[in-house]
Structure 1
Amino acid sequence: MKNTNSNAVKSNNKSLFSKLVQNLTFWVLIAIIVGILLGHFFPAAGVQMEIIGKTFVDLIKLFIAPIIFLTIVLGISGMGDLKKVGRIGAKALLYFEIVSTLALAIGIAVAYFFEPGKIDKTGLPIQDASKYTQGASKDFSWMQFFLSNLTLQVLLVAIIVGVALNFYKHREKTIVVLERFSKVVFLGLKYVMYLAPIGAFGGMAYTIGKFGLATLIPLGKLMISVYATMFLFVFIVLGGILRYYKIKIMDLLKYIREELLLVLGTSSSESALPSIMLKLEKMGCSKSVVGLVIPTGYSFNLDGTSIYLSMSVIFLAQLYDVQLSFFEILVIIGLLMITSKGAAGVTGSGFIVLASTLTAIHKIPVEGLAFLLGVDKFMSEARAITNLIGNTVATIVIAKSENDFADPILDTNLEEF
């Protein structure tokens, strides 16, 4: 009997070890630790690792144009016939933009208040940071701004194509082709993200080797700030919205706890998409509202991602001691409102959004992404969970506004689950 128990324990230990070894986050953590040690004890060697972090970022940047184009086109065309979607679609899109823009603004405000990227109020001692702003002109020109940014050009083309597809007679066939191509592109990105530990190692070794262990302080502050902001957003903003409809946020979270745990384990809000749709229908939301709002929300309503992205941009600006004007902050919010669409549930997509935004504003070093990679994996769960809760609340709001919600079913199911 003892042998049987011993074998079972050994088997469980092997299974746990096997899962740990196959976990990308585990290897990113190991790479970060090794990078810190190398940069601290052998700073000259750590500085030489800069090329590794830069190469990883350059690989990520190759995916910017195709991913933005495909996610925006498929997101817009996936709405179907805009006339047929009608009032529900318009309400959903309006709600998505208001709430996600609020999330972006909150992220920026909190980042400015807590200053997670500040080191002794001076930022990293970059000697040649001006090279990132050489293309900026004192006399701002919208035409020059647009023509010098591939990201904005791709966004404009994607929006036009997405809207046009809704009126194209072969729309369905075209969407199928684009979805297949999208899977290929994201598969390529998935394989590139397997190099994340190497990129994290290079970025961390270089940063610690050049600037010292003090740079770890802002990373910790960023993580705390992001988690605290998302917590407050869920319970104050989303909780306040639900309170207007006489629903308690804690009751809702208890009702969808299985989906929250699933997202926590997979770090992807898309893993819970099928089950959350069924839960919302049982909750009282009509099938038509759920079928429209949830899939669309996964591309257009990313509250957690919005908070993380806006805070990350300000964090990097503070880290490199780059001063942003009020107009530039508005430009960042405007860019993130568009580039963040479609970023949920796809490994590495957050870096695509950040890279495209930093590239477009021509002021904050894109190389800072390699430094940010060190903690990105540890905030993915918070982003995904906040995205899921945000889309759940959005569906309830739209259903309630359409008088397409059965309160008795809601009460019964909240007590049952």
Structure 2
Amino acid sequence: MQDVPTKKNSLLFNIVTNLTFWVLIAIVSGILLGNYKPDTAVQMKVVGDSFISLVKLFIGPIIFLTIVLGISGMGDLKKVGRIGIKALLYFEVVTTFALAIGILAAYIIQPGKIDKSGLDIQDASQYTTNPKTDFDWWHFFLDNFTLQVLLAAIICGIALNYYSKREIIVGYLYKCSKVVFRVLKIVMYLAPLGAFGGMAYTIGKFGLQTLIPLGKLMVTVYITMALFIFVVLGSILRYYKIRILDFLKFMKAELLIVLGTSSSEPALPSLMEKLERMGCSKSVVGLVVPTGYSFNLDGTSIYLSMCIIFLAQLYDVHLSFGEILTIIGLLMITSKGAAGVTGSGFIVLASTLTAIHKIPVEGLAFLLGVDKFMSEARAITNFIGNGVATIVISKNENEFLQVENPMKLD
């Protein structure tokens, strides 16, 4: 007779001690505070920003250590090059497909065809290029810490393969990696605070009623990204006999963290750990995931292409087929590394608008009100896309280990 209450107590204990449970509670609490006490909620911005800033301190060391260990652990530089080329080709194909889907969805749903009463819409024919928005690759690289760390890690990883005492340094770096991940695991217990602060500020600052004029764009972005995840990424996983719903369920805790913080970076370490638990080899995970965080931004690609078409519709600007191809080509290049710079989405949009010289750059101001709400969709799509990419490369390289899989495979 004692078994039933014992099981109930055990279930309750597992729920209460589960980080996912507290992140979910924090998100709901943030929404309620933002709705009923907006002034107080806005002040919670510092809580969410502080958590993200704290986690970002670990991103550089984690990317550097995992890539160096991944390259040096392979030993065979030809293998490193082969995996790197495969990953970059996959990134380029999928992100280009995402750009095209964003443009197609924007033309079908036409989110920019809205009631413009009350909006300060200037005549696009009077638009002149603002030279301050010209894109500077050199400064973009200097401001992009993620790309700098990636380059340094690749060089160090290759150099280690030619060093006679490589094992000593690799052993030291491996110990450093374990310490970094152990400390980060402790920091992640603060994730509910970060999720609460981010969600409370968002609702308190903007409020759902202010999103009505641009609500159609926001809904369009979410629908398009959901279709991309379940149809495109789902089909890719299905080819490798993995169901997308099983993958999402396996990553539910990380997805909630991404949702609450509006950033995929806090979930990077957990993503790498779980991909290894699935069966992806440590060397492939260490090389593909950090690189994907700069070069495989599916959600960002959809968002950028859709926003340009939205602004064109908002200003009643007709874009020829050649101009649309130009937009895709520009975004294929400028969107790479966009996650490494705060506000870089607007830098990329501004540079693209300047290049095509038909849509006022000032139109970006209309996106400020809803950008925060769409950042969750971008971050989640980017996160899932990088997980899928790692599985694809692991399977393709026969580096998907036969371990007891926590997910349900066909």
Q: Would the TM-score normalized by the shorter structure come out above 0.5?
A: yes
User: What pairs with 1:135-146 in structure 2 (closer than 5 Å)?
Assistant: none
Is the contact between residue 263 and residue 272 of structure 1 (CA under 8 Å) also seen in structure 2? Answer: yes
1-side partners of 2:211 and 2:364: how far apart? Answer: 15
Matched, 1:264 2:259: yes
**Counterpart AA for 1:335:** L
Q: Which residue of the other structure, out of 301, 308, 318, is the alignment partner of 2:303?
A: 308
Q: 1:24 to 1:321 in 2, by over 3 A?
A: farther
Equivalent residue, structure 1, for 2:320: 325
Is the contact between residue 345 and residue 384 of structure 1 (CA under 8 Å) also seen in structure 2? Answer: no
Equivalent residue, structure 2, for 1:381: 376
**Counterpart AA for 1:151:** F
User: What pairs with 1:208-247 in structure 2 (closer than 5 Å)?
Assistant: 219-247=214-242
2-side partners of 1:298 and 1:126: how far apart? Answer: 36
Q: Which residue of the other structure, out of 399, 414, 417, is the alignment partner of 2:407?
A: 414
Q: Give, in angstroms, the shift of residue 24 of structure 1.
A: 4.3
| Stretch of structure 1 that moved more, 345-354 or 320-329 | 345-354
Equivalent residue, structure 2, for 1:340: 335
**Counterpart AA for 2:348:** V
Q: Which residue of the other structure, out of 135, 145, 151, is the alignment partner of 1:151?
A: 135
Is the contact between residue 152 and residue 360 of structure 1 (CA under 8 Å) also seen in structure 2? Answer: no
Q: Give, in angstroms, the shift of residue 338 of structure 1.
A: 1.5
Is the contact between residue 117 and residue 218 of structure 1 (CA under 8 Å) also seen in structure 2? Answer: no
Q: Give, in angstroms, the shift of residue 96 of structure 1.
A: 0.3
1-side partners of 2:87 and 2:371: how far apart? Answer: 29
Equivalent residue, structure 1, for 2:104: 109
Q: 1:109 to 1:339 in 2, by over 3 A?
A: same
**Counterpart AA for 1:303:** D
Q: 1:127 to 1:278 in 2, by over 3 A?
A: closer
Q: 1:167 to 1:291 in 2, by over 3 A?
A: closer
Q: Which residue of the other structure, out of 355, 365, 384, is the alignment partner of 2:360?
A: 365
Is the contact between residue 133 and residue 351 of structure 2 (CA under 8 Å) also seen in structure 1? Answer: no
Equivalent residue, structure 2, for 1:45: none
2-side partners of 1:402 and 1:150: how far apart? Answer: 41
Is the contact between residue 268 and residue 345 of structure 1 (CA under 8 Å) also seen in structure 2? Answer: no
2-side partners of 1:357 and 1:285: how far apart? Answer: 37
1-side partners of 2:291 and 2:135: how far apart? Answer: 23
Q: Which residue of the other structure, out of 7, 11, 22, is the alignment partner of 2:43?
A: 22
Matched residue pairs, number?
304
Q: Give, in angstroms, the shift of residue 167 of structure 1.
A: 9.8
Q: Give, in angstroms, the shift of residue 399 of structure 1.
A: 0.3
2-side partners of 1:263 and 1:346: how far apart? Answer: 17
Equivalent residue, structure 2, for 1:292: 287
Is the contact between residue 268 and residue 384 of structure 1 (CA under 8 Å) also seen in structure 2? Answer: yes
Q: 1:372 to 1:283 in 2, by over 3 A?
A: same
1-side partners of 2:399 and 2:266: how far apart? Answer: 26
Is the contact between residue 123 and residue 315 of structure 2 (CA under 8 Å) also seen in structure 1? Answer: no
| Stretch of structure 1 that moved more, 216-225 or 380-389 | 216-225
Q: Give, in angstroms, the shift of residue 337 of structure 1.
A: 1.2
Q: Give, in angstroms, the shift of residue 331 of structure 1.
A: 1.2
1-side partners of 2:407 and 2:121: how far apart? Answer: 54
Q: Give, in angstroms, the shift of residue 20 of structure 1.
A: 2.0
Q: 1:350 to 1:19 in 2, by over 3 A?
A: farther
Structure 1 residues without counterparts, runs of 5 or longer: 1-11, 27-73, 136-146, 173-195, 202-212
Is the contact between residue 87 and residue 389 of structure 2 (CA under 8 Å) also seen in structure 1? Answer: yes
Structure-2-length-normalised TM-score: 0.64
Question: Which digits, 9 at most, give the CA deviation of each residue in 1:61-107, with x for residues without a partner?
Answer: xxxxxxxxxxxxx9xx9998986721100100000000000000000
1-side partners of 2:153 and 2:283: how far apart? Answer: 19
Q: 1:400 to 1:20 in 2, by over 3 A?
A: same
Q: 1:24 to 1:362 in 2, by over 3 A?
A: farther
Equivalent residue, structure 1, for 2:81: 86
**Counterpart AA for 1:22:** Q
2-side partners of 1:282 and 1:402: how far apart? Answer: 17
2-side partners of 1:113 and 1:243: how far apart? Answer: 27
Q: Give, in angstroms, the shift of residue 414 of structure 1.
A: 1.8
Secondary structure class of the residue paired with 2:241: coil
Is the contact between residue 165 and residue 171 of structure 1 (CA under 8 Å) also seen in structure 2? Answer: no
Q: Give, in angstroms, the shift of residue 171 of structure 1.
A: 10
| Stretch of structure 1 that moved more, 340-349 or 148-157 | 148-157
Structure 2 residues without counterparts, runs of 5 or longer: 1-28, 48-63, 160-200
Question: Which digits, 9 at most, give the CA deviation of each residue in 1:298-344, with x for residues without a partner?
Answer: 00000111111110010001101111111111111111112111222
Secondary structure class of the residue paired with 1:151: coil
User: What pairs with 1:396-411 in structure 2 (closer than 5 Å)?
Assistant: 396-410=391-405
Q: 1:221 to 1:156 in 2, by over 3 A?
A: closer
1-side partners of 2:113 and 2:122: how far apart? Answer: 17
